[in-house]
Amino acid sequence: MNRFWMGIAGGVGLSFGAVLMMSSANVVASTDTYRQLNLFGDVFERVKNDYVRPVKDDELVDSAINGMLQSLDPHSSYMNSKDFADMQTQTRGEFGGLGLEVTMEDGLVKVISPMDDTPAARAGIKAGDYISAIDGQSIQGLNLSQAVEKMRGAANTQVKLTILRKGEKKPFDVPLTRAVIKVESVKYKREGDIAVLRITSFNEQTEDGLEKAVNRVKTEIGPKLQGVVLDLRNNPGGLLDQAIFVSDAFLDQGEIVSTRGRRSADTQRYNARSGQVLGSAKMVVLINGGSASASEIVAGALQDQKRAQIFGTRSFGKGSVQTVIPLSGGADGALRLTTAKYYTPSGRSIQALGIDPHVLIEQKFEDNSEEDKGRSEADLPYHLDEEEKRKPHVGPIVKPKAGEKYDDFQLTYALRYLRGQETIPPAAPAARPVATKTP
């Protein structure tokens, strides 16, 4: 899922010490490497000279590099100089487009989530929709970057998406007008004496947005604050430093997250500093299958430190660290390379496992439909293996009562819990094994 990435500070260094002490095994390995590179050169020349249409050198090299990286895991990739510039623009929280978080599935573009207050959201595009054509041209054969490029464009220009939606018998067209997308990373609303803070992504605006939201809470609610809902649903992640800042804002001490690479010396730990922005107010974090990466770091930290109750459904499970490594200062683009994994304060790996909520609450909407559960990291080809077997949810399970309808059942339950109108039910008893007899 190329939409998910996590940048961390630091570079990549190579040690050239003791070059003259190269062992015979290294000589063999080096010889084998040169043989493989010669093979690549032979294939490159054959394709360049004999393929059915002329192909440019940079087209072949870009594809070869991406093929190498994408065969490792779903999140390592090569960005050419334009893609690298686009990525930097997006992390700043302002870019041109439609406002969609998307991935590729079965040759189609799948909508993970429309961003709030964007052309896509206003046009009624929903999570789980598939985009089969752009301006009447099928996206079959395009990779995700190519499809996204076709959807981008100057503000106030038109684009038409052909949508496939579950429950609809036929595809339908949705005309949209592109706009400058300014992602409001943090949103605040007041529910009586409860503050609801929604973080839509972790970009360079998150820290400032959270500080402004907290100031509004202190001004509008003040000492009457009953509790805080931190809504991380459908938040695909973003910058590691912003995830650490948000976690730190609600913790007084203790570890937030650790990253561990292939060498023990690569391990890094990030700890909270004293002081919570809203004191010890009771807290609930909402997550679902669209909560990934940075969202899972925050949820895992607050869960392990027993600072908050986690409600909703299991998160996506993207527990790997991508380091963005500029090439030639960015002139030749950049590598987005998986270099480590994330671990919660208790040492749990997030990779392909996700964060299991304290209380499992399936989402129900007013029309009695359920949210699209989508796919998890464990479903992606070439994903890094989980370090332990994924266990089914063993905690409490809450469902709406028969006949009741909600705009947002997960949020409603969280608000009721913070007001003392709901208590966390006991976990459902484990199924007892059925006795059997051997004839």
> What are the residue numbers of the active site?
293, 304, 318
Q: Is 245 helix (H, G, I), strand (E, B) or coil?
A: helix
Bridge pairing between strands 194-199 and 186-191:
antiparallel
Using the CB atoms, write b or e for 365-378: b if 16+ within 10 Å.
eeeeeebbebbbbe
257, 338 Cβ separation under 8 angstroms: no
Distances (CA, A) of 348 to 286, 311, 355: 19, 19, 9
CB atoms within 10 A of CB 406: 15
Q: At what angle do helices 24-50 and 57-70 cross, to 10 degrees?
A: 130
Q: Is 63 helix (H, G, I), strand (E, B) or coil?
A: helix
115, 100 Cβ separation under 8 angstroms: yes
377, 318 Cβ separation under 8 angstroms: yes
Beta strands in 72-214 (DSSP E): 77-79, 94-97, 100-105, 108-114, 130-134, 137-138, 158-164, 172-177, 179-182, 186-191, 194-199
CB atoms within 10 A of CB 312: 29
Beta strands in 247-406 (DSSP E): 255-260, 268-271, 282-287, 309-312, 320-326, 334-343, 359-361, 397-398
* Residue 95 C-alpha from the chain's centroid: 18
Which residue intervals of 113-193 are DSSP H helices?
119-122, 144-151
Q: Of 209, 174, 176, 257, nearest to 92 (Cα)?
A: 209
Tokens 């490497």 -> residue = 33
Amino acid identity for residue 418 in this structure: L
